[in-house]
Amino acid sequence: MKRRTLLASGAAAALSTAFGAPLRAQEKTKVGFIYVGPINDGGWTQYHHHSAGEMVTHFGDSVELVYQESVPEGPDAERAMTQMALGGADIIFTTSFGFMDPTINVAAKFPNVKFEHATGYKSAENVSTYSARFYEGRAIQGHLTGKMTKTNKVGYIASVPIPEVVRGINSAYLHASKVNPDVEFKIIWIFEWLNPAKEADAAKALIEQGCDVILQHTDSTAPHAAAREAGNVYTFGQAADMAEYGPMPRISSIIDNWAPYYIERVQAVMDGTWTTSNRWDGIGTGMVGIGEISDAVPADIKAEAEAMRDAIADGSYHPFTGPINKQDGSVWLAEGEVADDGALAGLNFYVEGVDGDIPS
Protein backbone atom coordinates (compact mmCIF):
# COMPACT_ATOMS: atom_id res chain seq x y z
CA MET A 1 0.00 0.00 0.00
CA LYS A 2 2.76 2.36 0.93
CA ARG A 3 4.52 1.76 -2.34
CA ARG A 4 1.36 2.44 -4.28
CA THR A 5 0.79 5.78 -2.62
CA LEU A 6 4.38 6.69 -3.25
CA LEU A 7 3.98 5.88 -6.90
CA ALA A 8 0.71 7.69 -7.15
CA SER A 9 2.19 10.80 -5.64
CA GLY A 10 5.15 10.42 -7.96
CA ALA A 11 2.80 10.35 -10.91
CA ALA A 12 0.97 13.37 -9.57
CA ALA A 13 4.24 15.22 -9.19
CA ALA A 14 5.02 14.21 -12.74
CA LEU A 15 1.80 15.80 -13.89
CA SER A 16 2.82 19.16 -12.58
CA THR A 17 6.45 19.14 -13.54
CA ALA A 18 6.24 17.08 -16.70
CA PHE A 19 9.29 17.73 -18.81
CA GLY A 20 9.28 21.47 -18.53
CA ALA A 21 5.68 22.08 -19.48
CA PRO A 22 4.07 22.58 -16.08
CA LEU A 23 1.24 24.90 -17.06
CA ARG A 24 0.18 23.28 -20.28
CA ALA A 25 0.07 19.86 -18.69
CA GLN A 26 -2.61 21.11 -16.34
CA GLU A 27 -4.86 22.37 -19.13
CA LYS A 28 -4.29 19.83 -21.83
CA THR A 29 -5.20 16.20 -21.80
CA LYS A 30 -2.03 14.33 -22.61
CA VAL A 31 -2.67 11.33 -24.83
CA GLY A 32 0.06 8.75 -25.30
CA PHE A 33 0.53 6.08 -27.94
CA ILE A 34 2.95 3.15 -27.86
CA TYR A 35 3.47 1.77 -31.35
CA VAL A 36 5.03 -1.56 -32.27
CA GLY A 37 6.27 -0.41 -35.68
CA PRO A 38 7.49 2.80 -37.29
CA ILE A 39 4.77 5.38 -37.94
CA ASN A 40 5.35 5.12 -41.68
CA ASP A 41 5.06 1.33 -41.97
CA GLY A 42 2.23 1.76 -44.44
CA GLY A 43 -0.10 -0.47 -42.42
CA TRP A 44 -1.01 -1.19 -38.82
CA THR A 45 1.03 1.42 -36.97
CA GLN A 46 0.58 4.08 -39.63
CA TYR A 47 -3.20 3.77 -39.30
CA HIS A 48 -3.12 3.95 -35.54
CA HIS A 49 -0.99 7.07 -35.89
CA HIS A 50 -3.29 8.42 -38.58
CA SER A 51 -6.28 7.88 -36.31
CA ALA A 52 -4.42 9.51 -33.44
CA GLY A 53 -3.84 12.48 -35.72
CA GLU A 54 -7.55 12.70 -36.50
CA MET A 55 -8.26 12.60 -32.80
CA VAL A 56 -5.89 15.53 -32.30
CA THR A 57 -7.52 17.43 -35.15
CA HIS A 58 -10.90 16.84 -33.52
CA PHE A 59 -9.85 18.19 -30.13
CA GLY A 60 -7.39 20.80 -31.34
CA ASP A 61 -5.47 22.55 -28.61
CA SER A 62 -7.10 20.74 -25.72
CA VAL A 63 -5.01 17.60 -26.22
CA GLU A 64 -1.32 16.97 -26.46
CA LEU A 65 -0.16 13.92 -28.38
CA VAL A 66 2.94 12.00 -27.36
CA TYR A 67 4.02 8.77 -28.97
CA GLN A 68 6.91 6.35 -29.20
CA GLU A 69 7.35 4.24 -32.30
CA SER A 70 9.08 0.91 -32.90
CA VAL A 71 8.78 -0.18 -29.28
CA PRO A 72 9.89 -3.82 -28.93
CA GLU A 73 7.39 -6.17 -27.29
CA GLY A 74 8.97 -7.11 -23.98
CA PRO A 75 10.54 -5.39 -20.98
CA ASP A 76 11.46 -2.34 -23.08
CA ALA A 77 7.78 -1.73 -23.66
CA GLU A 78 7.22 -1.52 -19.92
CA ARG A 79 9.85 1.17 -19.65
CA ALA A 80 8.41 3.16 -22.54
CA MET A 81 4.96 3.11 -20.92
CA THR A 82 6.33 4.07 -17.52
CA GLN A 83 8.18 6.98 -19.09
CA MET A 84 4.98 8.11 -20.73
CA ALA A 85 3.06 7.89 -17.46
CA LEU A 86 5.82 9.74 -15.63
CA GLY A 87 5.76 12.31 -18.43
CA GLY A 88 2.21 13.13 -17.43
CA ALA A 89 0.10 11.17 -19.90
CA ASP A 90 -3.55 10.93 -18.86
CA ILE A 91 -4.41 8.07 -21.17
CA ILE A 92 -2.09 5.69 -22.98
CA PHE A 93 -3.04 3.52 -25.95
CA THR A 94 -0.80 0.48 -26.42
CA THR A 95 -1.39 -0.80 -29.89
CA SER A 96 0.00 -4.29 -30.17
CA PHE A 97 -0.95 -7.65 -28.72
CA GLY A 98 2.53 -8.15 -27.25
CA PHE A 99 2.10 -5.09 -25.04
CA MET A 100 -0.55 -6.87 -22.99
CA ASP A 101 1.41 -7.91 -19.90
CA PRO A 102 3.55 -4.75 -19.85
CA THR A 103 0.38 -2.67 -19.99
CA ILE A 104 -1.15 -4.55 -17.06
CA ASN A 105 2.08 -4.23 -15.04
CA VAL A 106 2.53 -0.51 -15.64
CA ALA A 107 -1.14 0.21 -15.10
CA ALA A 108 -0.90 -1.33 -11.64
CA LYS A 109 1.76 1.24 -10.75
CA PHE A 110 -0.20 4.22 -12.07
CA PRO A 111 -3.78 3.85 -10.89
CA ASN A 112 -4.66 7.38 -12.04
CA VAL A 113 -3.57 6.89 -15.63
CA LYS A 114 -5.98 5.20 -18.04
CA PHE A 115 -4.66 2.52 -20.35
CA GLU A 116 -6.18 1.12 -23.52
CA HIS A 117 -4.68 -2.06 -24.93
CA ALA A 118 -5.46 -3.14 -28.47
CA THR A 119 -6.19 -6.80 -29.34
CA GLY A 120 -5.49 -8.39 -25.96
CA TYR A 121 -7.67 -10.09 -23.39
CA LYS A 122 -6.47 -8.82 -20.01
CA SER A 123 -8.11 -5.81 -18.45
CA ALA A 124 -8.08 -4.02 -15.12
CA GLU A 125 -9.82 -1.15 -13.41
CA ASN A 126 -7.73 1.30 -15.41
CA VAL A 127 -7.06 -0.93 -18.43
CA SER A 128 -9.58 -1.30 -21.24
CA THR A 129 -9.20 -3.51 -24.28
CA TYR A 130 -10.31 -2.76 -27.80
CA SER A 131 -10.08 -4.52 -31.06
CA ALA A 132 -11.81 -4.67 -34.40
CA ARG A 133 -13.71 -7.51 -36.00
CA PHE A 134 -11.27 -7.87 -38.85
CA TYR A 135 -12.78 -11.24 -39.65
CA GLU A 136 -15.77 -9.37 -41.10
CA GLY A 137 -13.45 -7.81 -43.65
CA ARG A 138 -11.82 -11.19 -44.23
CA ALA A 139 -15.21 -12.60 -45.26
CA ILE A 140 -15.42 -10.08 -48.09
CA GLN A 141 -11.80 -10.75 -49.03
CA GLY A 142 -12.58 -14.46 -49.07
CA HIS A 143 -15.52 -13.95 -51.39
CA LEU A 144 -13.46 -11.87 -53.81
CA THR A 145 -10.62 -14.38 -53.56
CA GLY A 146 -12.81 -17.36 -54.41
CA LYS A 147 -14.24 -15.54 -57.41
CA MET A 148 -11.02 -14.06 -58.75
CA THR A 149 -8.53 -16.92 -58.47
CA LYS A 150 -7.82 -18.86 -61.62
CA THR A 151 -5.23 -21.29 -60.26
CA ASN A 152 -7.42 -21.98 -57.19
CA LYS A 153 -4.30 -21.58 -55.08
CA VAL A 154 -4.35 -18.81 -52.52
CA GLY A 155 -1.36 -17.68 -50.51
CA TYR A 156 -1.80 -16.40 -46.97
CA ILE A 157 1.02 -14.63 -45.16
CA ALA A 158 0.19 -15.12 -41.50
CA SER A 159 1.92 -13.28 -38.71
CA VAL A 160 1.70 -14.53 -35.13
CA PRO A 161 -0.52 -17.53 -34.30
CA ILE A 162 -3.04 -15.78 -32.06
CA PRO A 163 -6.81 -16.19 -32.33
CA GLU A 164 -7.20 -12.93 -34.28
CA VAL A 165 -5.05 -14.28 -37.10
CA VAL A 166 -6.66 -17.74 -37.02
CA ARG A 167 -10.11 -16.09 -37.23
CA GLY A 168 -8.98 -14.22 -40.31
CA ILE A 169 -7.74 -17.36 -42.04
CA ASN A 170 -10.94 -19.25 -41.21
CA SER A 171 -13.21 -16.43 -42.30
CA ALA A 172 -11.36 -15.90 -45.58
CA TYR A 173 -11.29 -19.62 -46.33
CA LEU A 174 -14.96 -20.20 -45.49
CA HIS A 175 -16.09 -17.47 -47.86
CA ALA A 176 -13.64 -18.37 -50.60
CA SER A 177 -14.59 -22.04 -50.57
CA LYS A 178 -18.28 -21.16 -50.46
CA VAL A 179 -18.08 -19.63 -53.95
CA ASN A 180 -15.25 -21.86 -55.19
CA PRO A 181 -15.07 -25.33 -53.60
CA ASP A 182 -11.74 -26.08 -55.32
CA VAL A 183 -9.88 -23.28 -53.61
CA GLU A 184 -6.79 -24.25 -51.63
CA PHE A 185 -4.99 -22.09 -49.03
CA LYS A 186 -1.23 -22.14 -48.60
CA ILE A 187 -0.29 -20.50 -45.31
CA ILE A 188 3.15 -19.19 -44.37
CA TRP A 189 3.75 -18.05 -40.80
CA ILE A 190 6.46 -15.44 -40.32
CA PHE A 191 6.00 -14.96 -36.54
CA GLU A 192 6.27 -11.19 -36.84
CA TRP A 193 3.81 -8.40 -37.51
CA LEU A 194 6.14 -6.39 -39.65
CA ASN A 195 9.17 -7.59 -41.55
CA PRO A 196 9.18 -6.37 -45.15
CA ALA A 197 12.02 -8.69 -46.15
CA LYS A 198 10.35 -11.82 -44.78
CA GLU A 199 6.98 -10.73 -46.15
CA ALA A 200 8.45 -10.27 -49.62
CA ASP A 201 10.16 -13.67 -49.45
CA ALA A 202 6.93 -15.33 -48.36
CA ALA A 203 4.97 -13.64 -51.16
CA LYS A 204 7.52 -14.70 -53.77
CA ALA A 205 7.55 -18.28 -52.50
CA LEU A 206 3.75 -18.43 -52.63
CA ILE A 207 3.62 -16.95 -56.12
CA GLU A 208 6.19 -19.48 -57.31
CA GLN A 209 3.95 -22.23 -55.94
CA GLY A 210 1.22 -21.00 -58.24
CA CYS A 211 -0.81 -18.78 -55.94
CA ASP A 212 -2.52 -15.96 -57.79
CA VAL A 213 -4.11 -14.31 -54.76
CA ILE A 214 -1.96 -13.26 -51.80
CA LEU A 215 -3.69 -12.43 -48.53
CA GLN A 216 -1.64 -11.00 -45.70
CA HIS A 217 -1.98 -10.44 -42.01
CA THR A 218 1.30 -8.56 -41.89
CA ASP A 219 1.71 -4.84 -41.96
CA SER A 220 3.96 -3.84 -44.85
CA THR A 221 3.35 -3.29 -48.54
CA ALA A 222 6.19 -5.64 -49.52
CA PRO A 223 3.84 -8.45 -50.66
CA HIS A 224 2.10 -5.98 -52.98
CA ALA A 225 5.41 -5.02 -54.54
CA ALA A 226 6.25 -8.69 -55.08
CA ALA A 227 2.81 -9.30 -56.60
CA ARG A 228 3.10 -6.31 -58.92
CA GLU A 229 6.44 -7.60 -60.13
CA ALA A 230 5.00 -11.04 -60.82
CA GLY A 231 1.90 -9.65 -62.55
CA ASN A 232 -1.57 -11.23 -62.60
CA VAL A 233 -1.58 -11.68 -58.85
CA TYR A 234 -4.24 -10.11 -56.62
CA THR A 235 -3.59 -8.66 -53.18
CA PHE A 236 -5.53 -6.81 -50.49
CA GLY A 237 -4.45 -3.82 -48.44
CA GLN A 238 -3.96 -4.73 -44.80
CA ALA A 239 -4.75 -2.29 -41.99
CA ALA A 240 -4.27 0.56 -44.47
CA ASP A 241 -5.87 1.06 -47.86
CA MET A 242 -2.54 0.66 -49.68
CA ALA A 243 -4.30 2.28 -52.62
CA GLU A 244 -0.97 3.11 -54.26
CA TYR A 245 -0.88 -0.54 -55.35
CA GLY A 246 -4.30 -0.36 -57.03
CA PRO A 247 -6.05 -1.12 -59.27
CA MET A 248 -3.68 -4.08 -59.62
CA PRO A 249 -2.47 -6.02 -57.73
CA ARG A 250 -4.42 -4.49 -54.81
CA ILE A 251 -8.11 -5.03 -55.52
CA SER A 252 -9.52 -4.06 -52.12
CA SER A 253 -8.43 -3.66 -48.53
CA ILE A 254 -9.32 -3.83 -44.88
CA ILE A 255 -8.84 -0.40 -43.33
CA ASP A 256 -8.56 0.06 -39.60
CA ASN A 257 -10.32 3.21 -38.55
CA TRP A 258 -9.63 3.80 -34.89
CA ALA A 259 -10.32 7.54 -34.90
CA PRO A 260 -13.94 7.47 -33.66
CA TYR A 261 -12.94 5.18 -30.81
CA TYR A 262 -9.95 7.32 -29.86
CA ILE A 263 -12.07 10.46 -29.88
CA GLU A 264 -14.71 8.80 -27.73
CA ARG A 265 -12.24 7.50 -25.15
CA VAL A 266 -10.24 10.71 -24.86
CA GLN A 267 -13.51 12.61 -24.48
CA ALA A 268 -14.42 10.26 -21.63
CA VAL A 269 -11.12 11.05 -19.90
CA MET A 270 -11.79 14.78 -20.30
CA ASP A 271 -15.29 14.38 -18.89
CA GLY A 272 -14.12 12.13 -16.07
CA THR A 273 -16.48 9.40 -17.24
CA TRP A 274 -13.89 6.87 -18.40
CA THR A 275 -14.50 3.36 -17.15
CA THR A 276 -12.89 0.10 -18.14
CA SER A 277 -14.51 -1.60 -21.09
CA ASN A 278 -13.96 -4.25 -23.70
CA ARG A 279 -14.82 -2.97 -27.18
CA TRP A 280 -14.99 -5.15 -30.26
CA ASP A 281 -16.41 -3.27 -33.23
CA GLY A 282 -16.67 -4.14 -36.87
CA ILE A 283 -17.92 -2.83 -40.18
CA GLY A 284 -21.15 -1.64 -38.59
CA THR A 285 -19.55 1.16 -36.57
CA GLY A 286 -16.88 1.84 -39.15
CA MET A 287 -13.95 0.53 -37.12
CA VAL A 288 -13.36 -1.92 -39.96
CA GLY A 289 -13.50 -0.26 -43.36
CA ILE A 290 -13.55 -1.98 -46.72
CA GLY A 291 -11.35 -0.15 -49.19
CA GLU A 292 -12.65 0.67 -52.66
CA ILE A 293 -12.93 -2.51 -54.75
CA SER A 294 -10.90 -1.73 -57.85
CA ASP A 295 -11.87 -1.95 -61.53
CA ALA A 296 -9.86 -5.14 -61.88
CA VAL A 297 -12.86 -6.88 -60.30
CA PRO A 298 -15.86 -7.48 -62.63
CA ALA A 299 -18.89 -5.37 -61.72
CA ASP A 300 -21.13 -8.28 -60.70
CA ILE A 301 -18.55 -9.70 -58.30
CA LYS A 302 -17.97 -6.24 -56.87
CA ALA A 303 -21.72 -5.87 -56.31
CA GLU A 304 -21.87 -9.21 -54.47
CA ALA A 305 -19.00 -8.20 -52.21
CA GLU A 306 -20.60 -4.88 -51.44
CA ALA A 307 -23.89 -6.58 -50.65
CA MET A 308 -22.08 -8.83 -48.21
CA ARG A 309 -20.41 -5.81 -46.66
CA ASP A 310 -23.76 -4.12 -46.14
CA ALA A 311 -25.33 -7.28 -44.73
CA ILE A 312 -22.53 -7.61 -42.20
CA ALA A 313 -22.79 -3.92 -41.36
CA ASP A 314 -26.52 -4.04 -40.59
CA GLY A 315 -26.13 -7.30 -38.66
CA SER A 316 -28.23 -9.46 -40.97
CA TYR A 317 -25.26 -11.68 -41.78
CA HIS A 318 -22.57 -13.07 -39.46
CA PRO A 319 -19.46 -14.47 -41.17
CA PHE A 320 -19.37 -17.42 -38.77
CA THR A 321 -22.82 -18.90 -39.33
CA GLY A 322 -23.20 -22.70 -39.33
CA PRO A 323 -22.98 -25.28 -40.59
CA ILE A 324 -19.25 -25.10 -40.02
CA ASN A 325 -17.05 -28.07 -39.16
CA LYS A 326 -13.67 -28.01 -37.49
CA GLN A 327 -10.61 -29.12 -39.41
CA ASP A 328 -10.89 -32.63 -37.95
CA GLY A 329 -14.43 -32.94 -39.31
CA SER A 330 -16.25 -32.57 -36.00
CA VAL A 331 -19.14 -30.15 -35.81
CA TRP A 332 -18.35 -26.64 -34.58
CA LEU A 333 -21.52 -24.74 -35.48
CA ALA A 334 -24.77 -26.44 -36.39
CA GLU A 335 -27.00 -25.27 -39.24
CA GLY A 336 -27.93 -21.65 -38.63
CA GLU A 337 -25.92 -21.38 -35.41
CA VAL A 338 -23.83 -18.24 -34.97
CA ALA A 339 -20.47 -18.27 -33.18
CA ASP A 340 -20.54 -16.40 -29.90
CA ASP A 341 -17.90 -13.82 -29.06
CA GLY A 342 -16.33 -15.95 -26.34
CA ALA A 343 -15.62 -18.80 -28.76
CA LEU A 344 -14.31 -16.37 -31.37
CA ALA A 345 -12.05 -14.62 -28.89
CA GLY A 346 -10.16 -17.81 -28.11
CA LEU A 347 -10.42 -19.45 -31.53
CA ASN A 348 -7.48 -21.81 -31.92
CA PHE A 349 -8.43 -24.29 -34.63
CA TYR A 350 -8.84 -24.23 -38.40
CA VAL A 351 -12.16 -24.94 -40.04
CA GLU A 352 -12.66 -27.95 -42.26
CA GLY A 353 -10.80 -27.70 -45.54
CA VAL A 354 -7.83 -25.64 -44.38
CA ASP A 355 -4.65 -27.68 -44.73
CA GLY A 356 -1.79 -27.75 -42.27
CA ASP A 357 -1.54 -27.04 -38.59
CA ILE A 358 -1.53 -23.90 -36.54
CA PRO A 359 2.08 -23.69 -35.34
CA SER A 360 2.32 -25.39 -31.97
Binding footprint of other proteins on the chain (CB under 8 A): 3, 6-7, 10, 13-14, 17, 19, 32, 38, 66-76, 79-80, 82-84, 86-87, 97-98, 101, 121, 160-163, 166, 191-192, 345-348, 358-360
Nearer to other proteins, 87 or 353 (CB): 87
Q: At residue 64, what is the residue type?
A: E
Nearer Cβ to other proteins, position 93 or 97?
97
Nearer to other proteins, 6 or 303 (CB): 6
Please name the helix (run of DSSP H) or strand (run of DSSP E) that holds residue 101, with its range, or none: helix 100-109
Strand pairing report for 278-281 and 288-291: unpaired
β-pairing verdict for 324-325 and 331-333: antiparallel
In angstroms, what is the minimal distance from the CB of 264 to other proteins?
A: 24
Q: Which is nearer to other proteins, 84 or 188 (CB)?
A: 84
Q: Report the nearest approach of other proteins to the CB of residue 309 (Å).
A: 28
Taking the complex as a whole, how short is the minimal distance between the CB of residue 210 and other proteins, in angstroms? 26
The smaller minimum CB distance to other proteins, of residues 234 and 320, is found at 320
Shortest Å, Cβ 279 to other proteins? 18
Q: Shortest Cβ distance from residue 285 to other proteins (Å)?
A: 25
Cis upstream peptide for 249 (omega within 30°): yes
CA separation (Å) from 358 to 214, 275, 308, 324?
19, 36, 28, 18
Residues 286, 289: Cα–Cα separation, whole Å: 6
Q: Where are the beta strands (DSSP E) in 159-282?
A: 184-189, 213-216, 234-239, 250-256, 278-281
At residue 39's C-alpha, the angle toward residues 35 and 40, to 5°, is: 150
Give 161 or 289: the residue with its C-beta nearer to other proteins: 161
Minimum CB–partner distance for residue 6 and other proteins (Å): 4
User: Do residues 183 and 176 lie in contact, with contact meaning Cβ atoms separated by under 8 Å?
Assistant: yes
